[in-house]
Chains A and B, each alone.
Chain A
Amino acid sequence: GENVEQHPSTLSVQEGDSAVIKCTYSDSASNYFPWYKQELGKGPQLIIDIRSNVGEKKDQRIAVTLNKTAKHFSLHITETQPEDSAVYFCAAPDAPSYDKVIFGPGTSLSVIP
């Protein structure tokens, strides 16, 4: 089955700086890569996703890049704000049906005012 690794496990940045979280996956047939944000006491919330037919996708301050050859994808947050502080999870679909996702271990992001 799919194996998703995520780095770093914790990340602290100054407000206004950029944050980058990287994930690798093992199944070259995976074709959908979502990112979730989880705030304390809440369930994960989908913030952006990318499919394998594109290399980059942006949504305001958030972007995701995908390198299918190297089997890794990254989340980029620019101009970080204190409300970006949360745990972020990457995920990838799992064989054989690819209709469920396997989550990475998570990155705890702290944005320091």
Chain B
Amino acid sequence: EPEVTQTPSHQVTQMGQEVILRCVPISNHLYFYWYRQILGQKVEFLVSFYNNEISEKSEIFDDQFSVERPDGSNFTLKIRSTKLEDSAMYFCASSEAGTWAQPQHFGDGTRLSIL
């Protein structure tokens, strides 16, 4: 079964540094998402992306965050100047379409630790 692949599985970064989290969505999917889960808390939506544009973002997704589809297969989340509170598990997801009928498939996540 096709999978969403995320790399690295664990990223350790010094506070203030830039970090890029990478995702390879399922190949025929057109909609891409990032979610995060702070340890012990619920999964929270960050952003959705379609046709090379952000289609929706949450209040968490401020100016320090950006997303990009640099080529035909990768989808990245960049955090420009990391803060301690950015430590979380970051999940990438993708779906064939943006409607409810096409479920979002999640990757296994990247654990981001900010020191």
To the question of whether A and B form a pair in one complex, the answer is no
